[in-house]
Structure 1
């Protein structure tokens, strides 16, 4: 699981039948430097499934790969990245 920042939303013309009504966000994965505000710590933007209602600028916990589809078991959904949590605060030690 990684931390990412929401930078936009996606509007789809067509969607897989199992994903009708879903919300999609454009997010940027962050390293520790990115969380601390350094632009060099921001990764390439990706699209993530969001059913929690994250908005622009929110920090989220991003689940990827097979773990992203796990919350929907036994139903099969073609998801590669999933918003697992909206983060209120991040404390770095």
Structure 2
């Protein structure tokens, strides 16, 4: 059961890392968030920690890794998502 939770945390962290890497770097300061470089480092460490929790017995910081990924996904991602996109009010034209 715990192994499935650790896999879900790893997938969440990996998704957040890939999404942050694909976001334009000018979007972060434009929405008054931290820099892209800082988020990539935080999410990279978070992904590494959650990966190690899946395959080893080092599980001490895995929930901190989840918190970092959730802060990005629930706060930063919605703010920076619309910067640089050519979408209309109901989606792409």
TM-score, normalised to structure 2's length? 0.25
Query: Greater share of helix residues, 1 or 2?
Result: 2
Larger radius of gyration: 2
Relative contact order higher in (CA < 8 Å, ≥ 6 apart): 2
Query: Greater share of strand residues, 1 or 2?
Result: 1
TM-score, normalised to structure 1's length? 0.25
